[in-house]
Amino acid sequence: MIRSLPLRIIAAALALVLVLVGVIVRENGARAAGREVLLPMEAVDPRDLLTGHYVALRLSQQLALGQPCPREPTSFESGRWIGLKPVAGHYRFAGAGASRQAVLNAGADVAVRGGVHCSRMAFGGADADVVTLDIGVDRFHADQDEALAIEKALRERRAGEASAFAVVSVGQDGRARLKGVIVGGKRTDLTWW
């Protein structure tokens, strides 16, 4: 019985490694098969000793003049849907609803699971409504040099200069998966290998 214990431990370890590789391959396939959308983003401080180096992402955008704010804030966990429309090479918030069909019927081209929060901010001399999307994508992990370079580029960009975008794959299930980021015209993709 004791002699077979090391074999059982090795078999269990191999099974766990195979499951992990399977999950990575499945997620990579889902990311590749989804519809790629670019969402405007902002970044915040990227340091956390326990989770490594990353750029924390905030998917915020100013609403178009006259576009109403969603009435109540929702979260990713709420099970609601967000509609997106292409505008000038990226996707913008088009509305929120209780179902995929509701946001598509309202004129959205892409429906993604998530929540939304709306706030009022000052831009120049006027106030504007800003919507922040919660689609389960909130950070981009990178090695230390890469995370620092992305953070620096985000801090140095000024109004009217090159924008920053999160590159997201939206699958048939409506789930968003981060593919990479574009900062200052440079695309950095998320890679597992």
Q: Residue 72: what pLDDT?
A: 77
Cα-trace Rg, the chain: 20
CB 103 within 8 A of CB 83: yes
Q: Residue 105: what pLDDT?
A: 93
Q: State how far the alpha carbon of 165 is from the alpha carbons of 40, 113, 177, in Å.
A: 4, 19, 14
pLDDT tens digits, 14-49: 999 999 999 888 888 888 888 889 888 776 655 554
Rounded mean pLDDT of 49-72? Answer: 74
Rounded mean pLDDT of 132-147? Answer: 80
Q: Residue 122: what pLDDT?
A: 66
Q: What is the pTM of this model?
A: 0.74
* Dihedral (CA of 169, 134, 49, 13) sign: negative
How much is the mean pLDDT over the chain?
81
Separation of alpha carbons 132 and 97, rounded Å: 15
Q: Which amino acid is at 181?
A: V
* H/E stretch holding 144: helix 144-156
Which residues, 6+ apart, have CB-to-CB distance to 180 below 8 Å?
140, 167, 187, 188, 189, 190
pLDDT tens digits, 164-193: 888 999 988 889 998 988 887 788 887 765
Q: Residue 52: what pLDDT?
A: 62
Rounded mean pLDDT of 127-131? Answer: 82
What number of residues does the chain have? 193
Q: Which amino acid is at 44?
A: V
* Dihedral (CA of 75, 76, 77, 80) sign: positive
Whether residue 7 is predicted with pLDDT greater than 80 in this model: the reply is: yes
